[in-house]
């Protein structure tokens, strides 16, 4: 078979020779490793891939990928990526961002890139802290968090990235965890496969400034009780013994134990394809410790992409009005001749 | 002599004029901008040289009848070359008392004053601050006053078309136009064609406007009031085919042309802002020219999206005005650091802050020169007139790609909205813009160096999709050659100096500064941007009187042309007229240690020729 002769790139072939500058033990290492694996698994072309990032520890990511890349300015990566993808639809474009980058300074751009449904893969490394600037609280930090800039505890109400994504009409919304390597790979693969904007929140440990922020979700002993792995079309079941589930009680979800008169059929079934966003939104609001936090693909819809539409208009204009002709344009309408 | 009298046949005299200036003014809702535009186009089509000055309030509909709500449009047309829209006007059309109040001072004594008497009621007179009706008292005795009930005559003309009173009254501007068309012997055809095209979907409105236009024209012809009309012969412009262009339109077309000349798609990232929005509007019309227009969520996203497109290898553009420039600062620094080509257009308006959005000013020069963190050199070029915007746009992209740099194009509200005849170039004669991208490499080739420079210090423009050229760019300091992140102190110094030198190298490839007049003498007027017309006219006037004054109008603001310093040193005095408090003067003084004198004005208005001429004369002593 011809394809067997194509050189298949190994994960390492997607890395650069640059020293990785993250702190030892940082969750970013795992995300980088999974990304290389995914690119290798999907046999993605290096020259047709661009990683665009903002500023932050996470945003150093492009330097470590042997693809094209741009380490841009704080919060604005979605805008660079929108221009790039619109001008060059042939490229696969990733946006790498942090919780501060995407939700503080870049909140506006995130909102608009999502609603426009630009065909990009946005990976948000959520460590619930400003890593690069050495540990101030971020828009996803829990209230009361004591940091250098909040010695008496933060008074800000935190934001849920996935709630933002759903309310901005994102067509692909998912969550995974840095150290859940298999799950992260699968999630990234699906994000790449989705046509339209893909928004993936990755729980990432900053072992220097916010160590253990997701301990509950990564500890072997607790994780099956604190994390709900979503599967399309399947009931929402979790727990070490798969004996707990999520049921809808009126408009609110509740945790129930299976058996004792409650069967799988009483549980909520996950429907990532539902165009109605209410249930997906509800999932984004389920948080530890009251609920297991959902991971996997919350939402996966087909919708027209911005980059298709902007180029379609060009195509359509050419078909209806003819190819560009400067001579004709300049001499159209009212002109006069001076002898 | 004939003895029979036909009361309808009024024999009227036609007086030839070399030039004339007409101003239409009225309430913002009175359609004065349309009247002015139509009269300009018609005059241009009649072969006159023209220069126009639209002047309107920031509010879309300021309270009716108020002084603040007055909108005006001035047209200067002549049978010779002209460079300004004129100072005082020969004919003033005032549609209401407020317009009369705010504009009368600019009417020449014994000038033609056309008034809509229907609008001079008690309330409107009060709003304009008139205690008695100027049409009835003798306060206008120094002018040729033609007062007529335009509102009722327009209503009469459109009678039977089943229009509401409001709709009928909206045709008044066509009545006024018709009258002025008659007064200057203009054909109504271009405007009739305009009406057909513009109102094709609403035949009754089209018909009403046609009727109002003709009614105004016929009124001029038949009324006893006007004893004579005027004619301005064709101007002897260089041979060619012409069209009338505003600066914003010329800029947009220039940018589209630059894209074609370089074989690129044009990507515009923009956020609406007066007076730059018309560039976005104009380019959005021409998607069939491979133009992608992206109305971003703000000016930051606008420039960032353009930088993304530049990285992708297309022609990248962002357009804005002063406040938007302030937002773009950080991204401009990045574009400079990435060394990617990008055209950044700043159509300046009155600042600071929101300032005077619809008025003109030149006070962003220092912002675009220095408004960024760190050592961040960016070339700057400035357009001097509406038609010049076309050439400047092409020049900007040519320099941006040759030197791999963002470049700022400065225009201003005055030339952006003003119009003049533009000689249509022969497209085949326009020099191509040569852009090259490095080709693919394989494993056996030496590694690709994204920051390896040519002799002019420009780096290669490697575009994604090219096998073997994968590289990362970013705002962190990079090692020369490899482009890898580098914190080495000497490398940083070297890179800052190199980037500055690269921009300085542009001076080697741009034309030497031209001078109008002698190359040495008593006074050199150094100007830039939209003040060109007034400076040139003032200097020419004094030169004709034998005065020792020359004029250098600078297009290349950063870097300055190589011979500018030498040129300046040949004059006893240097005068720098600017619509700011001395920004170019600051640059000239620091660069050439010259004791340049300023003529500075920030009133939201262009210079008059007289203001400049008087200042020159005071320097000549
Ligand atoms: C305009 C601007 N403001 C502030 C900074 C400083 N800064 C750099 S990264 C950062 C926060 C990064 O936090 P996050 O996005 O969560 O990334 P992390 O480092 O946690 O991965 C800040 C405030 C900057 N680089 N640019
Ligand atoms: S500061 Fe935190 S997020 Fe940044 S590299 Fe270190 S561990 Fe990772
Ligand atoms: Mg963070």
Binding-face residues of B in 285-344 toward A, CB within 8 A: 286-292, 294, 296-298, 300-302, 304-309, 311-314, 316, 330-331, 334, 338
User: What pLDDT band is residue B58 in, cutting at 50, 70 and 90?
Assistant: confident
The pLDDT score that the predictor gives to residue B59 is 81
Contact: A70, B472; criterion CB under 8 Å: yes
Q: What average pLDDT does this structure show over B182-191?
A: 95
Would you say the C-alpha torsion B550, B556, B557, B560 has a positive or negative sign?
A: negative
Q: CA of A267, closest CA in chain B: separation in Å? A: 41
Domain boundaries, chain B: 2-232, 243-429, 521-620
B212 near B175, Cβ under 8 Å?
A: yes
Strands of the B240-246 sheet, one edge to the other = A336-338, B240-246, B419-423
- The residue whose C-alpha atom lies closest to atom 5 belonging to ligand 1 is A74
Residue B309, min C-alpha distance to chain A (Å)? 4
A89 CA to chain B: closest CA distance, Å? Answer: 10
- CB distance from B202 to chain A under 8 Å? no
B534 neighbors B513 (Cβ within 8 angstroms):
no
Q: Does A289 touch chain B (CB under 8 A)?
A: no
Nearest to A84 among B290, B296, B308 (CB): B308
Average pLDDT over residues B264-271: 98
Q: Which of B243, B244, B292 lies closest to A314 in CB terms?
A: B292
Q: Ligand nearest A74 Cα, by number?
A: 1
Say yes or no to pLDDT of A2 above 90.
no
Element (H, E) at B302: helix B299-311
Q: Do domains B243-429 and B521-620 have the same CATH topology?
A: yes
What residue has token string 């041979």? B239
Which atom of ligand 1 lies closest to the CA of A54? 15
The answer, yes or no, to whether any atom of ligand 2 lies below 6 A from the CB of A95, is no
Task: Note the helical H segments in B339-412.
Answer: 365-370, 388-403
Rounded to an integer, what distance in angstroms lies between the CA atom of residue A49 and that of residue A117? 19
pLDDT digits (tens, 9 = 90+) for B378-428: 999 999 999 999 999 999 999 999 999 999 999 999 999 999 999 999 999
Looking at residue B11, its pLDDT comes to 65
Sheet-wide strand order for A198-203: A227-229, A293-300, A172-177, A198-203, A121-126, A92-98, A49-53, A68-71, B472-474
Question: In angstroms, rounded to a whole number, what is the distance separating the alpha carbons of residues B32 and B223?
Answer: 24
Please report the pLDDT score of residue B5 as a whole number: 44
CA distances for A231 relative to A222, A228, A325, B156, angstroms = 20, 9, 54, 74
A334, B45: Cβ pair inside 8 Å? yes
What is the CATH topology of the domain spanning B243-429?
Answer: Rossmann fold (3.40.50)
- Out of A30, A53, A56, mutate this one to test ligand 1's pocket (max ligand atoms within 8 Å of CB): namely A56
Within a 10 A sphere around the Cβ of B578, how many other Cβ atoms? 25
Per-residue pLDDT of B593-608, as tens digits, reads 999 999 999 999 999 9
Q: Which two tokens stand for residue B146?
A: 């033609």
* Alpha-carbon gap, residue B601 to B362, rounded angstroms: 10
The CATH superfamily label for domain A11-213+304-312 reads Thiamin diphosphate (ThDP)-binding fold, Pyr/PP domains (3.40.50.970)
pLDDT, mean of residues B303-315: 98
Asked if B290 and A72 come within 8 Å (Cβ–Cβ), the reply is no
Tens of pLDDT, residues B115-156: 999 999 999 999 999 999 999 998 999 999 999 999 999 999
**Closest protein CA for atom 13 of ligand 1:** A130
Place of tokens 């004791």: B595
The model's pLDDT over A139-191, given as tens digits with 9 standing for 90+, comes to 999 999 999 999 999 999 999 999 999 999 999 999 999 999 999 999 999 99
Q: Is B499 helix (H, G, I), strand (E, B) or coil?
A: helix
Instruction: Look at residue B227 in the predicted model and tell me its pLDDT.
Output: 83
Q: Where are the domains of chain A?
A: 11-213+304-312
Per-residue pLDDT, A6: 62
Residue range A239-249, pLDDT digits in tens: 999 999 999 99
Backbone dihedral region for residue B27 (phi beyond 0: left; psi -120 to 50: alpha; all else: beta): beta
Q: Does A74 contact ligand 1 (Cβ within 6 A)?
A: yes
Total residues found in chain A within this entry: 339
Read off the pLDDT of each residue in A243-264 and give the average, rounded to a whole number: 95
Show Cβ contacts of residue B500 under 8 Å, excluding neighbours closer than 6 positions. Answer: B375, B377
Q: Which fold, B521-620?
A: Rossmann fold (3.40.50)
Q: How far is residue B289 from each of residues A326, B247, B344, measured CA to CA in Å?
A: 9, 20, 20
- Would you tell me the crossing angle of helices B172-183 and B150-157 to the nearest 10 degrees? 100
CB contact under 8 A, A334 and B294: no
- Closest chain B residue by Cα to residue A317: B288
**Residue from the list B190, B243, B305 with its beta carbon closest to the beta carbon of A82:** B305
CATH node for B2-232: 3.40.920.10
What is the DSSP secondary structure assignment for residue B32, as one 8-state letter? H
Q: Which residue among A202, A208, A213 is best mutated to probe the pocket of ligand 2, counting the most ligand atoms within 8 A of its Cβ?
A: A208
Among B188, B184, B240, which residue's Cα sits nearest to residue B210? B188
Average the pLDDT over B3-27 and give the result: 78
Overall pTM surpassing 0.90 (yes/no): yes
B108 touches chain A (CB under 8 A): no
Asked if the peptide bond before residue B559 counts as cis, ω within 30 degrees of 0, the response is: yes
- The end-to-end CA distance of chain B, in Å, is 59
Question: Across the interface, which of A76, A310, A326 has its CB nearest the CB of B301?
Answer: A76
Q: What is the mean pLDDT of residues B248-261?
A: 98
Q: How many residues does chain B have?
A: 621
The answer to whether B241 contacts A333, with C-beta atoms less than 8 Å apart, is no
- Sign of the C-alpha dihedral computed for residues B490, B493, B498 and B499 taken in this order: positive
Q: Is A82 on the interface with B (CB under 8 A)?
A: yes
CA distance A76 to chain B (A): 7
Ligand of minimum distance to the alpha carbon of A128: 3
Please state the atom number of ligand 2 nearest to the C-alpha of residue A127.
3
């Amino acid at each position: 078979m011809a394809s067997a002769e194509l050189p298949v790139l190994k994960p390492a072939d997607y890395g650069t020779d640059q020293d990785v500058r993250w702190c030892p033990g940082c969750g970013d290492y795992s995300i980088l490793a999974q990304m290389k694996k995914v690119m290798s698994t999907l046999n993605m072309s290096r020259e047709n891939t661009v990683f665009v990032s903002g500023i932050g520890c996470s945003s150093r990511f492009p330097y470590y990928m042997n693809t094209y890349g741009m380490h841009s300015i704080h919060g604005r990566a979605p805008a660079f990526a929108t221009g790039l993808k619109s001008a060059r639809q042939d490229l696969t474009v990733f946006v790498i961002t942090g919780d501060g980058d995407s939700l503080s300074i870049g909140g506006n751009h995130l909102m608009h890139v999502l609603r426009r449904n630009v065909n990009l893969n946005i990976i948000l490394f959520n460590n619930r802290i400003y890593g690069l600037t050495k540990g101030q609280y971020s828009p996803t930090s829990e209230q009361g968090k004591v940091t250098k800039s909040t010695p008496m505890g933060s008074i800000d109400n935190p934001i849920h990235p996935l709630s933002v994504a759903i309310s901005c009409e994102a067509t692909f919304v998912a969550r995974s965890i840095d150290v859940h390597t298999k799950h992260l790979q699968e999630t990234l693969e699906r994000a790449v496969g989705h046509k339209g904007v893909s928004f993936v929140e990755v729980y990432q440990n900053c072992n220097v400034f916010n160590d253990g922020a997701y301990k509950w979700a990564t500890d072997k002993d607790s994780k099956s009780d604190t994390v709900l792995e979503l599967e399309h079309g399947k009931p929402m079941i979790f727990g070490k013994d798969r004996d707990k589930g999520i049921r809808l009680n009126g408009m609110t979800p509740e945790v129930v134990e299976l058996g004792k008169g409650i069967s799988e059929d009483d549980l909520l079934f996950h429907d990532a394809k539902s165009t109605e966003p209410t249930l997906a939104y509800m999932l984004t609001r389920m948080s530890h410790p009251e609920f297991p936090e959902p991971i996997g693909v919350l939402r996966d819809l087909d919708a027209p992409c911005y980059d298709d539409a902007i180029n379609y208009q060009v195509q359509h204009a050419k078909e209806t009005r003819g190819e560009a002709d400067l001579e004709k344009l300049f001499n159209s309408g009212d002109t006069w001749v001076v002898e | 002599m004939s003895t029979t009298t036909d009361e309808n046949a009024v024999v009227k005299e036609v007086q030839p004029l070399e030039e004339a200036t007409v101003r239409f003014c009225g309430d913002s809702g009175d359609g004065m901008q349309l009247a002015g535009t139509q009269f300009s186009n018609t005059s241009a089509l009649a072969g006159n040289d023209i220069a126009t000055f639209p002047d309107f309030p920031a509010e879309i509909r300021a309270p009716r009848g108020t002084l603040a709500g007055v909108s005006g449009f001035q047209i200067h047309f002549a049978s010779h070359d002209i460079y300004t829209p004129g100072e005082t006007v020969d004919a003033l059309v005032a549609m209401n008392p407020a317009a009369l109040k705010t504009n009368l001072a600019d009417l020449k004594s014994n000038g033609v004053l056309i008034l809509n008497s229907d609008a001079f009621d008690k309330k409107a007179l009060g709003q304009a601050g008139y205690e008695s009706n100027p049409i009835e008292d003798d306060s206008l005795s120094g002018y040729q006053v033609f007062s007529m009930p335009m509102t009722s005559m327009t209503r009469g003309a459109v009678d039977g078309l089943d229009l509401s009173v409001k709709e009928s009254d909206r045709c008044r501007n066509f009545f006024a136009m018709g009258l002025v068309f008659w007064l200057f012997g203009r054909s109504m055809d271009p405007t009739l064609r305009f009406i057909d095209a513009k109102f094709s979907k609403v035949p009754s409105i089209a018909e009403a406007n046609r009727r109002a236009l003709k009614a105004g024209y016929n009124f001029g012809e038949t009324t006893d009031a006007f004893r004579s009309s005027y004619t301005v012969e064709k101007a002897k412009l260089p041979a060619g085919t012409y069209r009338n262009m505003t600066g914003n339109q010329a800029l947009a077309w220039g940018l589209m042309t630059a894209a074609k000349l370089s074989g690129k798609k044009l990507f515009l990232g923009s956020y609406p802002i007066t007076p730059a929005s018309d560039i976005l509007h104009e380019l959005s019309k021409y998607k069939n020219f491979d133009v992608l227009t992206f109305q971003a969520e703000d000016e930051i996203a606008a420039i960032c999206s353009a930088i993304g497109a530049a990285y992708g290898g297309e022609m990248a553009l962002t357009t804005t005005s002063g406040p938007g420039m302030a937002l773009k600062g950080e991204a401009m620094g990045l574009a400079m650091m990435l060394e990617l080509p990008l055209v950044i257009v700043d159509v300046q308006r009155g600042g600071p802050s929101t300032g005077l959005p619809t008025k003109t000013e030149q006070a962003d020069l220092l912002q675009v020169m220095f408004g960024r963190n760190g050592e961040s050199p960016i070339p700057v070029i400035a357009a001097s007139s509406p038609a010049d915007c076309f050439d400047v746009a092409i020049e900007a992209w040519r320099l941006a790609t040759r030197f791999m740099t963002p470049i700022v194009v400065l225009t201003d509200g005055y030339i952006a909205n003003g119009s003049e005849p533009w000689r249509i170039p022969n497209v085949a004669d326009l020099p191509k813009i040569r852009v090259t991208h490095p080709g693919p490499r394989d494993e056996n080739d030496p590694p690709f160096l994204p920051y390896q420079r040519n002799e002019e210090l420009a780096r290669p423009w490697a575009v994604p999709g090219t096998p073997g050229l994968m590289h990362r760019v970013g705002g962190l300091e990079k090692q020369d050659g490899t482009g890898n992140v580098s914190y080495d102190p000497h490398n940083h110094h070297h890179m800052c100096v190199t980037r500055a030198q690269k921009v300085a190298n542009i001076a080697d490839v741009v034309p030497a500064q031209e001078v109008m007049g002698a190359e040495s003498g008593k006074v050199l007027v150094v100007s830039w941007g939209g003040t060109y017309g007034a400076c040139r006219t003032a200097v020419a006037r004094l030169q004709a009187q034998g005065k020792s004054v020359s004029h250098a109008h600078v297009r290349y603001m950063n870097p300055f042309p190589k011979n500018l310093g030498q040129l300046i040193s040949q004059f006893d005095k240097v005068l720098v007229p600017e619509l700011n408090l001395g920004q170019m003067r600051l640059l000239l003084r620091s660069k050439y240690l010259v004791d340049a004198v300023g003529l500075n004005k920030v009133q939201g208005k262009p210079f008059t020729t007289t203001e400049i001429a008087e200042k020159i004369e005071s320097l000549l002593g």
